Structure 1
Amino acid sequence: MTESDNILPPRPAPAKIGFFEKWLSLWVALCIATGIGLGSLAPGFFDQLARLEYANVNFAVAVLIWAMVYPMMVNVDFNSLRHIGDKPKGLVVTIAVNWLIKPFTMAALGVLFFQYLFADLISPAEAQSYIAGLILLGAAPCTAMVFVWSQLTRGDATYTLVQVSVNDLIMVFAFAPIVAFLLGVTDITVPWETLVISVVLYVLVPLICGAITRKWLIGHKRQGESGKDAVQRFEAIVKPFSIFGLLAMVVLLFGFQGQVILDKPVVITLIAAPLLVQSYGIFTIAYAAAWFWRIPHNVAAPCALIGTSNFFELAVAVAISLFGLQSGAALATVVGVLVEVPVMLSLVALANRSKHMFPAN
């Protein structure tokens, strides 16, 4: 046996979260402060933006939401669905948590916190609005940032793509009925037409456009370039627009909500409380189920994280369409952005520290 026989192959370098993603909560916090300041200094400007709408769809919001959502949809590869049966246990956990548990626990926590625990701190109307925003967050599983969380836990990239693709297909058909049911159960009026229009506008159409764009990019890739490289090159070009869309949306929403927040600054903490309980609770359910079912860690970690993370871009868009720019529902969905990143990073660290508890990949 030679000396080289004892040398192990080099381990891949740990995945790194991007600069923007790592400090997302900080950027959101700065944009919150900017929005509140601008809302106080130039309320007329925000009033003009609020009037730019048709059929409950605000044009400024629609442009910003599309800037956020479209680049994510280009990442969805429906060809990955041929791997749907490779590791069925992970997919079962993902679907069960995302569609049979998460929306209902979020609605239950919203009712518990805002109609009982915080009942003396807010009005019944405000409580209903915040509950609506939480329901929208709970019914929208993540489609983009989950790729970052999967990389940070060295998850199975192909199977993470399968999970996201399946979730997006389910979302097209299940999001509106689940939201309508939960809003009805909590005695919130459901404008069905607006809800369906929102799903078509912010999920179905971007998903179709993303699939067409992906196919075109792969068909026109550069010489010596793989299809994946072509998609990643395009993503690098459009990513700044996605970042701008998110931050501009936060400024816009808090510009409309500025006076409410200045009058009741504690409202951010009140909204964050059930979101924190939901996030850590859902992760515990999914991760424990994966451990009990002996799912390999490179599938178990992403399937727990995808259920914990939210498609907040969709939740924000639908909240604005259903309840308006100045609604508590819209505010609740934006607070979800503020809470999500630090929570998800803590869960990534937990998943990495507990890797030894799961079967080898």
Structure 2
Amino acid sequence: MGMFERWLTAWVALAMVAGLFLGVIAPDLIEAIAAAEVASINLVVAVLIWAMVFPMMVGVDFGSVKDIAKQPRGLLITLSVNWLIKPFTMAALAVVFFEHVFAPLIEPEDAEQYIAGLILLGAAPCTAMVFVWSQLTRGDETYTLVQVSVNDLIMIVAFAPIVALLLGVTEIQVPWETLVLATLLYVALPLLAGFLTRKRLGNDERIAEFTAQIKPWSMVGLIATVVILFGLQGNVILDRPLVIALIAVPILIQSYGIFALGYAAAFALKVPHRIAAPCALIGTSNFFELAVAVAISLFGLNSGAALATVVGVLVEVPVMLSLVAFANRTRDHFKGA
């Protein structure tokens, strides 16, 4: 794990502070960035999101999908958790907390936005950081690549319908055109660009070298996006800092609950630990880059939905590191540890 990945929570926290400061001293700059939109897509953020997403898409080798048959149980757990369980439990938790438990503390229109942001997080399974978690648990790298590749293929066709369904269930208006456009822009096109780049580079050594060169831009894109988001959200956060903690509560419950479900299923099905740990961690982690991008596209840079997705970034890294530690401590209980 590189310096940026290891200290991602700290960098995000510093970016949040920098954004708040920038929003106070240069509000016109932040508003100018927010105004740079075409078809509900913010151009500045679109560039930053591509900087985040493209390096990880170059690392996806769809040729590895043929290896699925070697260990179908691990993939079955991952896909079941990611697409049949996780989006719906996240939506349920969001509704329970923001329409009921936290209702006295949150205005209804704000609660609706936070619910939408949490739905976007829950419907976007992790792509890039999974490789970090897999490495830290001595996971099977090839199989992790298979899981990520299959997830990405499913995401192209499943993300938009699931999000639309859940937003509709919670009575949030769904701008279908923007949702589909955002899915194409931030999932399908980066995947295609990554595939074409891999094909042009030709071999694993050149691909690895190229990925290492562009990977820092992924973190730059993330940090810059967080700065912009918190610059726009500055007044809300300074007036109501409690909102960050409130948004974190359902995310924490979801993260630990989903990991427990996936890990227990892998244990029950006698999946080897080198596959069991990554498959549980994939279901727990989120593709927060996509969630942030779509939240901005659907609801705007200064929306509560965008804020909720950024809180997901802040919470994720310490949670995932604690789960990595747990997985490593329980390795000996699994078959093929």
Matched, 1:115 2:91: no
1:295 matched to 2:271 = yes
* 1:259-308 deviation per Cα after TM superposition (whole angstroms, max 9, x unaligned): 11001011100000000000000000000000011100000000000000
Residue 66 of structure 2: aligned partner = 82
Deviation at 1:360, TM superposition (A): 1.1
Q: Normalised by the size of structure 1, how large is the TM-score? A: 0.93
Is residue 126 of structure 2 the alignment partner of residue 142 of structure 1? yes
Counterparts of residues 307-326 of structure 1 (less than 5 Å): 307-326=283-302
Within 5 Å, which residues of 2 pair with 1:122-271? 122-218=106-202, 227-271=203-247
Quote the Cα distance in structure 1 between the aligned partners of 2:336 and 2:297.
46
**Offset, 1:35:** 0.1
Residue matched to 1:330: 306
* Greater C-alpha Rg: 1
Query: How much does 1:113 deviate?
Result: 0.7
Which of structure 1's runs of 4+ aligned residues deviate more than 3 A? Answer: none
Mapping of residues 46-65 of structure 1, within 5 Å: 46-65=30-49
Q: CA deviation at 1:18?
A: 1.8
TM-score by length of 2: 0.99
Structure with a larger share of its residues in helix: 2
1:273 matched to 2:257: no
1:139-164 CA-to-partner distances (Å, cap 9, x unmatched) read 00000000000000000000000000
Cα distance in 2 for partners of 1:176, 1:352 equals: 35
Q: Quote the offset at 1:240 in angstroms.
A: 1.6
User: Could you report, residue by residue, the CA deviation over 1:11-42 in whole angstroms, capped at 9, with x for unpaired residues?
Assistant: xxxxxx22211110000000000000100111
Quote the Cα distance in structure 1 between the aligned partners of 2:158 and 2:300.
23
Q: Percent identity?
A: 67
Deviation at 1:323, TM superposition (A): 0.3
The separation in 2 between residues aligned to 1:315 and 1:345, in whole angstroms, is 21
Measure how far apart 1:359 and its partner are.
Answer: 0.2
What corresponds to 2:85 in structure 1? Answer: 101
Structure 1 residue 243, shift from structure 2 partner: 1.3
Aligned to 2:317: 341
Kindly provide the CA deviation profile for residues 297-354 of structure 1, in whole angstroms up to 9, marking residues without a partner as x.
0000000000000000000000000000000000000000000000000000000000
User: For structure 2, which runs of at least 5 residues remain unmatched after alignment?
Assistant: none
Q: What SS class does the counterpart of residue 84 from structure 1 fall into? A: helix
Equivalent position SS for 1:305: helix
TM superposition shift of 1:57:
0.4
3-state DSSP of counterpart to 1:122:
coil
**Helix, strand or coil: the match of 1:85?**
helix
Q: Which amino acid is 2:162 matched to?
A: I
* Structure 1 residue identity aligned to 2:189: V
Matches within 5 A, 1:13-24: 17-24=1-8
State the secondary structure of the residue aligned to 2:54. Answer: helix
The one-letter code sitting in structure 2 at the alignment partner of 1:193 is E
Q: How many residues align?
A: 337
Report the aligned-residue RMSD.
0.6
1:331 is aligned with what amino acid? L
Distance, in Å, in 2 between the alignment partners of 1:180 and 1:118 is 24
Query: Residues of 2 paired with 1:246 and 1:135: CA distance?
Result: 20
The CA distance in 2 between the partners of 1:84 and 1:198, in whole Å, is 29
